[in-house]
Amino acid sequence: MSDRPVLDVSHLRTVFDTPTGQVVSVDDVSLSIARGQTLGLVGESGSGKSVTSLSLMRLVERGGGRIDGGTISLKGRDGDVINLATLPEAAMRKVRGRDIAMVFQEPMTSLDPVWSIGAQIAESVRLHQGAGRSRARQQAIEMLRLVGIPAPERRVDDYPHQLSGGMRQRVMIAIALSCRPGLLIADEPTTALDVTIQAQILDLIRRLQAEIGMSVLFITHNLGVVAEIADRVAVMYAGQVVEEAPVAQIFATPLHPYTAGLLASIPGTAKPTADRRLPTIGGAPPSPMSRPAGCRFAPRCPLAVDACLSGVPELTEVAPGHKARCIRWQEVKR
C-alpha cells in the first residue's frame, strides 16, 4: 500500500442543473498523482480545469454543481484511503486543510479583508491541530518565514490590503501548507503576477514540495509554466482529459491533435506561416450545452474522419505511460 497514489480520480463526472437543462462540466475524468509528484492540468478557459479542482475539494456544491459519478480516492496522512466523492460534509471539513489544501487564482478574493493574515493562518492551525492561541500565532509566524515574507513577526498583524499581489499569494500558500497536507491544489496561482514574482512563486512551491514531500496538482493554461514545474501533464478539452503523459513526452511527441495544436502556437517554438502569423487552432470549443456526439475536438481537428464524428474515443494508453483520447494518434504531427 505504500506505493498507492496520493490521489486517484476515476471517471469523475460533475454536473450543474440549470433552468434549461443539465450541464456536464466534467465528464469521465481520471487522474492519478503519486507522492511527491506534480501533475500539470492544462487547457483553454472553460475546459473544466477549475471545476475539476473544486470537485476534488468538494467545493463545487457551493457554486450550484454536484458530483454525479466516479470516485476521488485520497490517501490520508494516516495511510487510510478516503473517497471524497461520497464523504459527508462534516467529515470533509476535517479533510480540507489537513490532508488536501488549495491555493486559488486570486488571493484578494480568497483572503478575508477584515482579519489579519496571521489570524487567518492561525485559524487553520487551531482548527486542524487543536493548537492554543499562542502556539497557533507562533506557527503562523513560522509559516510566513517559510514562504519568504520578510519580518514575519511584524507582518503577521498586517491585513491583506497592506500586501502586494505576490505577498498575498505567499500568504495563501502559507495557509494551505500550515497543516502539511499530502496534496496541494494550485489553481493558476501565478496568472495575475508579473514574470519575476511568478518565477519566485514557482520556486517557492518546488522548494516547499521538496521539504514537505507533498504532491501537487498545478492547474494552468500556461504551457511554459507546465514545462518548468510538472512531472506529468494532463490536457483537458471540453470537460475531458484528452492526453496524459510525462512532461518531456508531451512536448516532444504529442499524440492528440489538440495538444499538438497548443504546442504549435507557443511563441518562440512555433513555425511562423508565410505572413509570419503564429499557427492557431481553428474554430472554438463547443458549448457545454451542445457538445458533439463523437470526439469533442472533431469539428476543429485536421485529422477528423467519419468515425470521429460518431464514436466517443476512450482515454487509452497508446504508449508506455502515455494516454490519448484519439483513434488517429499515430498520425499526429507537431
Query: Are 49 and 117 contained in the same domain?
Result: yes
Position 5 scores a pLDDT of 92
CA dihedral 53, 59, 60, 61 (to 10 degrees): 160
Mean pLDDT of 221-235: 92
Residue 204 lies in a domain: yes
Cell numbers standing for residue 121: 493562518
Q: Is the pLDDT of residue 129 over 50?
A: yes
Query: Are 66 and 206 contained in the same domain?
Result: yes
Q: What is the pTM of this model?
A: 0.90
- How many whole angstroms separate alpha carbon 301 and alpha carbon 303? 5
Cell numbers standing for residue 17: 442543473
Position 269 scores a pLDDT of 59
Q: What b/e string do you get for 134-166 counting C-beta neighbours within 10 Å, with b at 16 or more?
A: eebbbbbbebbbbbbbeebeebbebebeebeeb
Mean pLDDT of 306-326: 93
Mean pLDDT of 250-269: 89
246 and 262 Cβ atoms separated by less than 8 Å: no
Residue 107: which pLDDT band, with cuts at 50, 70 and 90? low
Q: What are the backbone angles phi and psi of residue 121, rounded to the nearest 5°? A: -70, -45
Provide the domain count of the chain. 2
Position 202 scores a pLDDT of 86
Residue 310: which pLDDT band, with cuts at 50, 70 and 90? confident
Residue 198: which pLDDT band, with cuts at 50, 70 and 90? confident
Mean pLDDT of 214-238: 93
What share of the chain has pLDDT > 70, as a percent?
96
Nearest to 218 by CA among 255, 179, 173: 173
Q: Is the pLDDT of residue 290 over 90?
A: no
Query: Are 13 and 94 contained in the same domain?
Result: yes
In sequence order, the β-bridge partners of residue 81 are: 75
- Residue 90 buriedness (CB in 10 A; 0-12 / 13-18 / 19+): exposed
Residue 213: which pLDDT band, with cuts at 50, 70 and 90? confident
Cell numbers standing for residue 192: 495575475
Q: Is the pLDDT of residue 278 over 60?
A: yes
Nearest to 16 by CA among 53, 54, 57, 68: 68
Residue 78: which pLDDT band, with cuts at 50, 70 and 90? confident
Cell numbers standing for residue 317: 494508453
Residue 327 lies in a domain: yes
pLDDT digits (tens, 9 = 90+) for 136-192: 899 999 989 988 889 999 999 999 999 988 889 889 888 888 888 899 999 988 776
Q: Is the pLDDT of residue 1 over 50?
A: no
- The one-letter code for the residue type at 246 is P
Residue 32: which pLDDT band, with cuts at 50, 70 and 90? very high
Residue 333: which pLDDT band, with cuts at 50, 70 and 90? confident
Query: Are 218 and 277 contained in the same domain?
Result: no
Q: Where is the domain boundary, 170, 196, 230?
A: 230
Per-chain mean pLDDT for the chain? 89
Segments forming the whole domain that contains residue 260: 254-331
Residue 316 lies in a domain: yes
Query: Are 120 and 38 contained in the same domain?
Result: yes
Q: Where is the domain boundary, 195, 230, 265?
A: 230
Residue 102 lies in a domain: yes
Query: Are 284 and 196 contained in the same domain?
Result: no
Q: Which residue has the higher pLDDT, 246 or 172?
A: 246
Q: Is the pLDDT of residue 268 over 70?
A: no
